[in-house]
């Protein structure tokens, strides 16, 4: 199967542990961090019989994992919870996990930029590649076109490039600048289910595994000089990682972690076995993330918001959160979207900026939406108004989700359509339960029934305040 296995829910409580000995002697031991669906584990790769220690437990469906060693952070994607989460680690143990990127569909791939301090991920259901700050803020869509089920993603921050696999109808491996520029397809032949992807920074090589052709290949970073590492003898390789002369991978069929010599594919051995459901894997070592300076290190590259590393001078580019335009100075973002669509879904409200071409929907951070039906906006004070049929009320908040209030709660049966008169400062709505059209001031005072006769389930309502 190309897709993920279906699993029931995991334990309800979060457990945190840390292999202190491995942490303290990382320079001597070779530690592997891997996702095991229901937990994240770390194992000493030098000892085949060593037990893996749970770093984060009680997860639903952990798929991808990565870390920022210098910041003491471990990140993972949870496909069932549709989110990216993180925890801090240190020598005495872990801390509670945090959700940093919610509202995803199928976050299959994840990669940390340890130099530019950014988080990159793929989503194989929305067919997007996105980036954000390490805390999940300033989220931006980098690619949304000509993607069909992107999966693994790997970064080369020192050179400013990112790489990803796509196992859709046209399987391929692509690369682009980490700022979203210079996109190119580097592998599109003899490729079917490209799962694992890793980089050899020293030798400047790209390694990938194909679960259909059952091999591991490598090439130069531009896709040239393709070579066979392990021939078609692997049951179902999934994720790859590399350290010095050794290549490691997880395999779904053997439920194990395997290794071989990266140059020849020889000396294959089982590193760790009897794994419940091995997914993504990384060598956990500061040597994989050399702490170098970058063009974003000083004053955020002069950027007001995102500073993204680039393969071309000045080796970074300023960028804005999704839906927000960059001003002509190339460094400063607008305060927000100037034109937008507002969308009411059953359990959330979303904003779609019309200022940028990707038309990405962003969930507004408003809590406890039960059954939203209609939505409108007051451009004067910046409030959004919506009807909620489940709580039988009309509510409002600012676009950032703050100052949430109940506007109308009494004698409301099934509030449906809603419309803002931004000139006279009134709010109109229909009620399919009381068969009425009513009006109130925008703050909920001075309520009045306008029409209560000859109505049978009135729905949508629209105003023309300019014409009166």
**CA pair distance 189, 175, nearest whole angstrom:** 15
Check pLDDT > 80 for residue 3.
Answer: no
Give the mean model confidence (pLDDT) for residues 201-215: 96
Confidence grade of residue 89 (pLDDT, cut at 50, 70, 90)? confident
pLDDT tens profile 69-84 = 999 999 999 999 999 9
According to the model, what pLDDT value does residue 60 have? 93
Give the mean model confidence (pLDDT) for residues 324-328: 96
pLDDT tens profile 450-463 = 999 999 999 999 99
DSSP element (H, E) containing 385 = strand 383-388
Share of the chain above pLDDT 70, in %: 92
Give the mean model confidence (pLDDT) for residues 36-43: 96
Give the mean model confidence (pLDDT) for residues 118-130: 97
Close Cβ partners of 20 (under 8 Å, ≥ 6 residues apart): 91, 92, 93
Helix (H, G, I), strand (E, B) or coil at 22: helix
pTM as predicted:
0.87
Which residue bears the tokens 């893996």? Answer: 52
**CA pair distance 250, 34, nearest whole angstrom:** 9
Closest Cα to residue 257, out of 244, 276, 284?
276
E runs forming strands in 134-255: 140-143, 150-156, 161-166, 172-177, 184-187, 194-200, 205-210, 215-220, 227-230, 237-243, 246-251
Closest Cα to residue 192, out of 207, 206, 172?
172
Burial of 189 per CB tally in 10 Å (0-12, 13-18, 19+): exposed
Confidence grade of residue 29 (pLDDT, cut at 50, 70, 90)? confident
CA atoms within 13 A on the CB side of 151: 27
Close Cβ partners of 386 (under 8 Å, ≥ 6 residues apart): 344, 349, 369, 372, 373, 374, 375, 376, 394, 395, 396, 418
Close Cβ partners of 451 (under 8 Å, ≥ 6 residues apart): 436, 437, 458
Structural domains in the chain?
Answer: 15-288 (2.120.10.30), 340-451 (2.120.10.30)
Give the mean model confidence (pLDDT) for residues 359-376: 93
Among 82-96, 147-161, 336-350, the minimum mean pLDDT is found in 82-96
Give 1's strand partners: none
Query: Chain centroid to CA 162: how far?
Result: 15
pLDDT tens profile 422-445 = 999 999 999 999 999 999 999 999
Check pLDDT > 90 for residue 164.
Answer: yes
**CA pair distance 299, 61, nearest whole angstrom:** 38
H and E: helices and strands count for the chain: 1, 39
Cα dihedral 296, 298, 303, 306 sign: positive
Which residue bears the tokens 């900026």? Answer: 353
According to the model, what pLDDT value does residue 48 have? 66
Contact (CB, 8 A) for 165 and 173: yes
φ/ψ of 176, rounded to 5, equals -160, 165
DSSP 286-345: GGGS-----TTTTGGGG-SSEEEE-SSTTSEEEE--TT-PBPTTSS-B-SS-SSEEEEE-
φ/ψ of 383, rounded to 5, equals -85, 145
């Amino acid at each position: 199967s190309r897709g993920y296995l279906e699993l029931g829910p995991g334990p309800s409580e979060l457990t945190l542990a840390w292999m202190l000995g491995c942490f303290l002697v990382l320079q001597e031991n070779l530690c592997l961090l891997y996702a095991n669906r229901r937990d994240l584990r770390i194992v000493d790769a030098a000892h085949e019989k060593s037990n893996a220690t749970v770093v984060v437990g009680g997860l639903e469906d952990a798929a991808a994992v990565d870390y920022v060693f210098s910041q003491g952070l471990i990140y993972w994607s949870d496909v069932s919870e549709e989110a990216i989460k993180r925890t801090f680690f240190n020598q005495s143990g872990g801390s509670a996990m945090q959700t940093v990127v919610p509202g995803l569909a199928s976050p299959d791939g994840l990669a940390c930029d340890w130099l530019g301090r950014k988080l990159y991920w793929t989503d194989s259901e929305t067919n997007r590649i996105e980036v954000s700050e390490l805390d999940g803020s300033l989220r931006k869509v980098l690619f949304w076109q000509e993607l069909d089920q992107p999966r693994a993603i790997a970064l080369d921050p020192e050179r400013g490039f990112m790489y990803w696999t796509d196992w859709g109808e046209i399987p391929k491996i692509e690369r682009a600048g980490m700022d979203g520029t210079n996109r190119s397809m580097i592998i599109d032949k003899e490729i079917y289910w490209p799962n694992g992807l890793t980089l050899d920074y020293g030798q400047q090589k790209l390694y990938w595994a194909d679960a259909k052709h059952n091999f591991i290949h490598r090439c130069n970073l531009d896709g040239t000089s393709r070579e066979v590492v392990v021939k078609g003898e692997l049951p179902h390789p999934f994720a790859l990682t590399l350290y010095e002369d050794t290549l490691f991978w997880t395999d779904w069929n053997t439920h194990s972690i395997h290794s071989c010599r990266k140059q020849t594919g020889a000396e294959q051995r089982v590193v760790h076995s009897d794994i419940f459901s091995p997914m993504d894997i990384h060598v956990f070592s500061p040597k994989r993330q050399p702490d170098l300076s970058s063009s974003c290190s000083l004053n955020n590259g002069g950027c007001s918001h995102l500073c993204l590393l680039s393969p071309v001078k000045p080796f970074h580019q300023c960028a804005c959160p999704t839906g927000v335009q960059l001003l002509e100075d190339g460094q400063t973002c607008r305060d927000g979207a100037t034109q937008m669509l507002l969308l009411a879904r059953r359990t959330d409200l979303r904003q779609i900026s019309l200022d940028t071409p990707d038309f990405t929907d962003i969930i507004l951070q408003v809590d406890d939406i039960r059954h939203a039906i209609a939505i409108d906006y007051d451009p004067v004070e910046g409030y959004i108004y919506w009807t909620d049929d489940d709580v039988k009320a009309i509510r409002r908040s600012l676009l950032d989700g703050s100052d949430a209030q109940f506007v109308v709660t009494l004698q409301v049966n099934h509030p449906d359509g809603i419309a803002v008169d931004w000139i006279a400062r009134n709010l109109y709505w229909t009620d399919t339960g009381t068969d009425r059209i009513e009006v109130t001031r925008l703050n909920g005072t001075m309520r009045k029934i306008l029409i209560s006769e000859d109505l049978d389930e009135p729905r949508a309502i629209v105003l023309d305040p300019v014409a009166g």
